[in-house]
Amino acid sequence: MADKAVLGLDIGTSRIKFVEARGGRSGPVVTNVGMGMTPRDTIANGVIVDPDTLGAAVRQLLAEYGVRTRSVVSSVASQSSLVVRPIEVPRMTRSELTETMQWEVDRHIPFAASEVVMSFEPLIPPEELPEEAQNMEVLLAVAQEDMVDAHVQTLFNAGLDPAALDVEPLSASRSLIDIVGEQGAYDRTYALLNIGANTTDLSIFRPGGLLSFTRPIPIAGDTVTNAVAEALGYEFHEAERAKIEEGRVYSEGAPALAASAGGEPQPPPEVAPAPPPDEQGEGEERVFDLGAETGPQQPPAEKPPPTTLPAVHAPTAGSSERQVYDAMLPTLVELVTEVRRSLEYYTNRFPDSSVDRILLYGGTTRLGSFPEFLANEVGMEVEVGDPFQYVAVDEASVPAEMFRDNACFMPIVVGLAIRDMID
C-alpha cells in the first residue's frame, strides 16, 4: 500500500473534482476533497482543447483548498478518441503478443493508428490458461496521442506530476466494489450508471469485479436541462437552477415506460453476438494505463419512446414544480428506456450473469426521487453510490458537508486517489 499522499483528479465537462488520500493502517484515508466548475469551452467531446486555461483553473482550485501533493492520477474519457475493448487472438506468449498487437490495433479503432498511445493486457495470463484453450482474450486500450498529450499538458500546466492516466468505469468500481470485494461485493453483478453532464455511461461488472459490458448513452444531465429551457423559454443557467431547486420525479403505480407504451416493456430484438466480455486487467505502470471500459457495445436501434406520458402523482397543473416536471419527464423516460434496454440486452447476451443491483452516481442522482423512479422502471434495486461509505475520511481536515453533500460526484475521483492503496 502506498504511504505517500496521492491526488486523484477528475476533469469533467462540467466540474473539476479532486480527492487527496494517503495510506493508513486500516486502508486509505481521504485528507482533502474539493470541487469547482470547469471553464467553458475548454473541453469538447471529452477532449481538452484549451490546456492553458484549464490547467490554470485546476491550479487555482487546488491552491484554494491548500493542496500540496503533486503526484496525480487522472482520468480520461472520450467517445471519439479512446477505444478500450476485449479482443480474441490465438493463444501465444507475452512476447509474441507484443508483436501481434502492433498489427491488431488497425482492425479495432475508428481513427488512424499512426499516432496513438496503446496499452494491452491479457485478461487471463497465458500461463494460467487451461491446456485445451486455443485462443485468449486481450484487453486493448488505444487513445489518440493528441488527446493524451492535451490531458498531460493540462496537468503540467497545473503544476502536477502525472503518475498515471486511468479510465472512469474501473476507477469508480475501485471505490464502490473493489474496496469491499472480499466482504461480499465480488459475489454480485453490478451495473454502474454514471449520469454526467453530457453523457450517461453504463458499465456492468460481473462477480469478481470484472468489467463485462459498457455502453455510452447520449442523454444526460444537460439534456434534461435543455428540455426544461426549451419548454419554459429559459436560458440554460435558469433551466439548470429550476431543475436543481424545483425538479422532482413523481410516479406511482404502473411503470412509466409500460404505461406510455400501452403495455409491458418489450425485450430488444435479436442481435448479432457481441464481442467477448471484458475483464479487469492489471497493466504495466505507465502514464496511459490500461484499466478501462470496453468499446461501445451498442444494443440494437429502437423506436424513440412515445410522447404519451403516463398518469402520475404530481403537483397541481400550472404550478412551477409541475411545469418543470412536465418538461423533464419525456427526456427522463427516454433515458430510462435506454438503460432498461441495455440491461435486457446484457441479460440476453450473458444469461448466467443477471444484474443484481444498479449503483447510481453523477449529478442527476440528486434529482428528487430519481433513484426510486429508476428502480420502479427497470424493476431492480438501485443504490446511490457513495465512495465515502467505505473509505475513511479525516473529518478534522475535510468539512462534513463537502464529502456528504457531494458524494454522488466522487466515485471516480476517489477511485483514482486510492488506485495503488488497495489490493
Helix (H) or strand (E) holding 74: strand 71-76
pLDDT at 82: 77
| Sequence spans of domains, the chain | 6-417
- The pLDDT of residue 306 is 40
Q: What does the alpha-carbon distance between residue 175 and residue 422 come to, in Å, rounded to a whole number?
A: 10
> Coil, strand, or helix at residue 418?
coil
* DSSP H or E segment with residue 194: strand 190-195
Per-residue pLDDT band for 277 (boundaries 50, 70, 90) equals very low
Answer CATH for 6-417 from 3.30.420.40, 1.20.140.10, 3.40.50.11260, 3.60.110.10: 3.30.420.40
Percent of the chain with pLDDT over 70: 82
Please write the tens of the pLDDT for every residue from 403-415.
888 999 999 999 9
Confidence of residue 70 (pLDDT cuts 50, 70, 90): very high
Mean residue pLDDT of the chain comes to 82
pLDDT for 281 beyond 50: no
When comparing pLDDT for 419 and 282, which is higher? 419
Q: Give the cell for residue 360.
A: 447510481
- Is residue 12 within 8 A of residue 33, CB to CB? The reply is no
Lowest-pLDDT range of 274-283, 307-316, 388-397:
274-283
pLDDT tens-digit readout, 72-129: 999 987 666 777 777 789 999 888 998 888 888 888 777 777 788 887 878 778 888 8
Label residue 24 by pLDDT band (50, 70, 90): confident
In the chain, what percentage of residues exceed pLDDT 90?
48
Q: Which residue has the cell 415506460?
A: 257
The total of other beta-carbon atoms located within 10 Å of residue 204's CB is: 28
**Greater confidence, 103 or 386?**
386
Q: For residue 289, is pLDDT > 90?
A: no
* CA gap 60, 4 in Å, rounded: 23
The C-alpha atoms of residue 154 and residue 148 are separated, in whole angstroms, by 10
Q: Is the pLDDT reported for residue 230 higher than 80? A: yes
Beta bridge partners of 353: none
d(CA 60, CA 165): 21
Res 416 pLDDT > 80 = yes
Is the pLDDT at 402 greater than 80, yes or no?
yes
pLDDT at 160: 97
Mean pLDDT value across residues 375-391: 92
Tell me the per-residue pLDDT of 332-352, one tens digit each, with 9 for 90 and over: 999 999 999 999 999 998 888
For residue range 134-178, list pLDDT tens digits in order.
Answer: 998 787 778 888 889 999 999 999 999 999 998 888 899 999 999
